[in-house]
Structure 1
Amino acid sequence: MSSQEYASPPSFPFITVAAVQMEPHVGRKEENVARSIALIDRAAAEGAALVVLPELTNSGYVFGSRAEVFALAETVPDGSTTQAWMDAARRNQIYIVAGIAERDGDRLYNSAVVIGPEGWLGVYRKLHLWGDEHLFFEAGDKGLPLFHTQWGRLGVAICYDGWFPEVYRLLAMQGADVVAMPTNWVPMPGQPADRHAMATSLAMANAHSNALTIVCANRIGTERGQPFIGQSLIVGAQGWPLAGPASEDTEQLLYARINLKESRQARHLNPFNHVLRDRRDDLYDPMLGTGWPLPRH
């Protein structure tokens, strides 16, 4: 499809989402971006309207110094990586959420860019930093923005953000339909060998508690001694996996076709119970003190 041709938007209320599990290599930015675009094109050819890439797809993850991160980071949306992804989104008429090392003046952020067929939609900056990320990045300062698409409302979280139920709750309270999660999951202490990763359990629990579809795109491989665990996952609004978990060590594309109308209805657990309306907001602030207005669902 040329950049001058436009595909029809997905037929509401159905949408196909894709999680890309791949292996970025630290410092090999051009190679990482080229591989990501090949996988984006493949997912789009299979009908995906939303493609989610891992955390820090363009740069790799295990950095030796802040100077190394600074050299790999880019401004958004004018940096070369974002421009390449914008071209892929326009050419395929899809939405892309992809992890990137962002530079803003002399500040660095572990971010995810959000891009649509029409171009730049915005950026999400990781709120909860993990491990050595504290040495390189600033904590996110843009809150939990919601991005409006042709088919619904899109939220974003990155990796360790998923350990905080407040993240999903605030996105759900704003009316999110789908949460895209670029991630670089690593082994967790005490993980039994015969069980899936803790991260997949957290995604399932938060999807169920908030009636959200969550698209988790993890990486694979070992980088400078740090292993990553794969197991990318797409979870439906009732909390059950729609695709995955993927393998622990193989590049994969996961797909799921979701019905947004049914996803929204999943908040009704039965004729009496609704997971958002049953909150005891006489006891606690429904927006957790953020001051954001309650939307009309």
Structure 2
Amino acid sequence: MVKIATVCMAADPRDKVVNRNNMIAYIEKAAEQGVDLIVFPESILTGVGTVGMQQFNSEDKLAIQKMAELVPEGESTQIFVELAKKYDMYICWGMAERNPERFDATHNVSVLVGPEGYLGKYRKVHLPLCERLYHYPGFGDYPVFDTRIGKIGLEICYDKCFPEVSRTLALKGAQIILGPICWPNMTGSLDDPDHLVHVTFSHARAMENMIFYVDANHCGPHMGGHSQIVGPNPGQLLATTGFDEGMAVAEVDIEGEMNRARIFSMGGSDLLRDRKAGTYGEVTKFNEFNPVWGGRVGEE
């Protein structure tokens, strides 16, 4: 059995140390409960600015740039590495990463550390709204990391709107996909369209790949909260925080629940095994409505 925690919290837009200390408090709380993996929201360490990503704010961009750190050499990653070793725990969080080649270039990254030390990072590929004015996108390597609790894949927020991302992670063997988010809710209602998209996509990504999906969201004004742990079986919401700040914990049987999904939930129909990859060429073709290649430079 694996004990997973997901945190819902707000980020101070100007004080990285405050954010880090709040994160450490949750890590210590999770350690008291014997948690194996804790997941924090997107950009929780360095914040998303004062107006979110729906607008561009020059002062916010400058503040984020100043708070950005190298990964893994930066102070915060090293602090969380030591905590992961101390508490025998995997820790995933979001932050702004400074590109080592250019002081003014940053990336929205998710970082994973564990008892073994630094495991890796993922640079967000799909940048919505004004976020593309704050950060540079990643190349789409979509990493999966071997850990003692299972194979963990990383994506970030808007990425989950594109099923190709989680499918790629699942095809690489991911059993747990971590998707830190900063998802809005302008009305504060469970019927808000943003809330329905957030919850529905997390469930869809889990079910269509028959894996576990964990997201962690911000709380506060106009934020959606509801950090959640979703299982691979239909309607399997294992834990959620609701709108308010807090931590939700679930103890899960990774292989057992995946087996139940892939053997029993659809009468033996395994959605990865039954794929017909050779028929999906249209998915990756360029066209006039989606002409920009988002992969590595030099690739065709």
Common topology (TM > 0.5): yes
* CA displacement, residues 52-95 of structure 1 (integer Å, 9 cap, x when unaligned): 00111111112632322210100011111111211211110111
Work out which of the residue numbers 66, 79, 94 in structure 2 matches 1:71: 66
Work out which of the residue numbers 34, 39, 59 in structure 1 matches 2:46: 59
Q: Match of 1:53, as an amino acid?
A: F
Tell me if the contact between 1:242 and 1:256 (Cα under 8 Å) persists in the aligned partners.
no
Work out which of the residue numbers 102, 111, 132 in structure 1 matches 2:97: 102
- Seen in structure 2, the aligned counterparts of structure 1 residues 239 and 184 have a Cα distance that, compared at 3 Å, is farther
1:233 aligned partner: 228
2:6 aligned partner: 19
2:280 aligned partner: 284
Tell me if the contact between 1:54 and 1:219 (Cα under 8 Å) persists in the aligned partners.
yes
1:136 matched to 2:130? The reply is no
Q: Match of 1:254, as an amino acid?
A: A
Which whole-Å CA distance do the structure 1 matches of 2:176 and 2:282 have between them? 20
- Seen in structure 2, the aligned counterparts of structure 1 residues 193 and 119 have a Cα distance that, compared at 3 Å, is same
Work out which of the residue numbers 18, 22, 30 in structure 2 matches 1:35: 22
Q: Match of 1:155, as an amino acid?
A: G
Provide the identity percentage: 34
Tell me if the contact between 1:127 and 1:143 (Cα under 8 Å) persists in the aligned partners.
no
Q: Counterparts in 2 of 1:52-201, with a 5 A limit?
A: 52-62=39-49, 64-65=57-58, 66-104=61-99, 105-106=101-102, 107-187=105-185, 193=191, 196-201=195-200
Tell me if the contact between 1:212 and 1:237 (Cα under 8 Å) persists in the aligned partners.
yes
Q: Give the 3-state SS of the residue equivalent to 2:249 in structure 1.
A: strand
1:274 matched to 2:261? The reply is no
- Seen in structure 2, the aligned counterparts of structure 1 residues 214 and 274 have a Cα distance that, compared at 3 Å, is same
Q: Which has the higher helix share?
A: 2
After TM superposition, the structure 1 stretch with the greater mean CA deviation from structure 2, 52-61 or 272-281, is 272-281
Which whole-Å CA distance do the structure 1 matches of 2:125 and 2:87 have between them? 30
Which whole-Å CA distance do the structure 2 matches of 1:275 and 1:188 have between them? 35
- Seen in structure 2, the aligned counterparts of structure 1 residues 163 and 17 have a Cα distance that, compared at 3 Å, is same
Q: Give the 3-state SS of the residue equivalent to 1:197 in structure 2.
A: helix
Give the C-alpha shift of residue 152 in structure 1: 1.2
Which whole-Å CA distance do the structure 2 matches of 1:159 and 1:96 have between them? 17
Q: Give the 3-state SS of the residue equivalent to 2:73 in structure 1.
A: coil
Tell me if the contact between 2:46 and 2:96 (Cα under 8 Å) persists in the aligned partners.
yes
Which whole-Å CA distance do the structure 2 matches of 1:67 and 1:234 have between them? 34
After TM superposition, the structure 1 stretch with the greater mean CA deviation from structure 2, 143-152 or 238-247, is 238-247
Which 4+ runs in 1 deviate beyond 6 A? 286-291
* CA displacement, residues 158-180 of structure 1 (integer Å, 9 cap, x when unaligned): 11111111111111111111011
Which whole-Å CA distance do the structure 2 matches of 1:239 and 1:97 have between them? 26
2:218 aligned partner: 219
1:204 aligned partner: 203
Q: Match of 2:87, as an amino acid?
A: N
* CA displacement, residues 128-156 of structure 1 (integer Å, 9 cap, x when unaligned): 11222111100112520111101210001
Tell me if the contact between 2:49 and 2:64 (Cα under 8 Å) persists in the aligned partners.
no
Tell me if the contact between 1:176 and 1:212 (Cα under 8 Å) persists in the aligned partners.
yes
Which whole-Å CA distance do the structure 1 matches of 2:271 and 2:186 have between them? 29
2:290 aligned partner: none
Which whole-Å CA distance do the structure 1 matches of 2:169 and 2:212 have between them? 11
Which whole-Å CA distance do the structure 2 matches of 1:73 and 1:94 have between them? 24
Give the C-alpha shift of residue 244 in structure 1: 3.8
Which whole-Å CA distance do the structure 1 matches of 2:266 and 2:13 have between them? 48
Give the C-alpha shift of residue 188 in structure 1: 7.0
Gaps of 5+ in 1: 1-13, 292-297
Give the C-alpha shift of residue 206 in structure 1: 1.4
1:261 aligned partner: 255
